[in-house]
Amino acid sequence: MRSFQDIKNTIHPIASLMTPGMWRVWASTVFLSLNGVCIKLASEHAHVMQIVTVRSFLGLLLCIASAKGNIQSLFGRNKLLLSVRGVLGMFAMIATFTAFSILPVAEATVIFFVNPVLVALLAWLVLGEKVGLIGGVSVLVCFGGVRFPPKFGPPVKVESASLNR
């Protein structure tokens, strides 16, 4: 049986230079892309809330499995902040899944990846955190990319899309 290192070297010579962390980043990128495509395909047959429910249940199972039997570690110390985070995360997931079901995958992905930039901007406005020159330029470039996205397909009329599937 071939080892993982042999398989990596046969895929591409550069693959042998990648660290385990780089492989994890690559894998997360691939699975995040597949996530968007799966949401788009599933939304043709199921309502967005059904998809969110299944995704949340699978996420709960993964969290329980990763807790390795220590269920108390799932509930944290500050239950109020954890509850607020959970509710806001739920609304964010519903909004993201709705965007993937209505918009083309490329445009929904662009909107999805604006999230960290919005968090940085809100942290600067609300919490007074320092963004710095590179962070400020990154925010401007990101919003420029969202304002003028590449068009890969025909435009979608959002008002004609049905949310009640």
pLDDT above 70 (res 94):
yes
Higher pLDDT, 142 or 147: 142
Residues 86 and 127 sit within 8 Å (Cβ to Cβ): no
CA distance 138 to 119: 13
More confident residue, 31 or 54: 54
Non-local CB neighbours of 110 within 8 Å, separated by 6+ positions: 145, 146, 149
- Res 139: pLDDT: 83
The model carries a pTM of 0.66
State the pLDDT at residue 54.
Answer: 93
pLDDT > 50? residue 160:
no
pLDDT for position 154: 65
According to the model, what pLDDT value does residue 108 have? 84
Q: What is the pLDDT of residue 57?
A: 93
- Average pLDDT of the residues in 65-89: 79
Stronger pLDDT, 118 or 163, i.e. the higher one: 118
Q: Assess whether pLDDT exceeds 80 at residue 150.
A: no
Dist. CA 3–CA 14, nearest whole Å = 17
Least confident of 7-11, 75-79, 107-111, 138-142: 7-11
Dist CA 21 CA 27 (whole Å): 10
Residue 130 scores a pLDDT above 90 = no
